[in-house]
């Protein structure tokens, strides 16, 4: 199950991460690819991430949809919503382990905690940015 499915019904079929694929000349029929940004203005940014156990990301958002594949380790994601000038948890904390895939919609406020050392493949639709939330967790 995708990380944000319950809140926003986002899957590989609906996430912008999987848009803008094109055929690649000289490759087998049926193959298409989406190359990386900024070489391709419709591209995606891809990062191979490592996180130490016990570290965390404060509540933040990104300007494009994102997808995280957990290669090794365990992590959790907490979504938030703004109420007045505070952030309040929006749903239960979601655990991701080796082999799990999580999707997050553009602009969705979330934080992450790394329970074990994690190795991740992170894909962001378009140019990546890390936008800290402008409110405090209640």
Q: pLDDT tens for residues 89-135? A: 999 999 999 999 999 999 999 999 999 999 999 999 998 888 999 88
Q: What is the CATH number of domain 5-137?
A: 2.60.120.10
What is the pLDDT confidence band of residue 7, given thresholds at 50, 70 and 90? Answer: low
Q: Is the pLDDT of residue 70 over 70?
A: yes
Contacts of residue 93, defined as CB under 8 A and 6 or more positions apart, other chains included, come to 76, 77, 78
pLDDT at 1: 44
Question: DSSP characters for 14-28?
Answer: T-GGG---EE-TTS-
Q: Is 106 exposed, middle or buried (0-12, 13-18, 19+ CB in 10 A)?
A: middle
Quote the DSSP letter at residue 99.
Answer: T
pLDDT at 8: 66
Q: What is the pLDDT averaged over residues 22-35?
A: 81
* 3-class DSSP assignment, residue 8: helix
Q: How far apart are CA 103 and CA 97, in angstroms?
A: 14
Q: Is the pLDDT of residue 48 over 70?
A: yes
User: Does residue 112 contact residue 66 with C-beta atoms inside 8 Å?
Assistant: no
């Amino acid at each position: 199950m995708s990380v944000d499915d319950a809140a926003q019904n986002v899957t590989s079929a609906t996430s912008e991460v999987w848009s803008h694929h094109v055929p690649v000349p000289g490759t087998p029929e049926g193959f298409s690819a989406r190359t990386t940004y900024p070489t391709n203005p419709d591209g995606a940014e891809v990062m191979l991430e490592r996180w130490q156990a016990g570290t965390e990301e404060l509540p933040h958002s990104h300007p494009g949809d994102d997808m995280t594949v957990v290669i090794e380790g365990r992590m959790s994601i907490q979504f938030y919503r703004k109420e007045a000038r505070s952030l309040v948890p929006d749903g239960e904390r979601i655990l991701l382990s080796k082999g799990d895939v999580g999707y997050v919609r553009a602009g969705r406020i979330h934080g992450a905690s790394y329970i074990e050392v994690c190795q991740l493949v992170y894909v962001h639709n378009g140019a990546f940015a890390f936008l800290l939330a402008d409110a405090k967790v209640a």
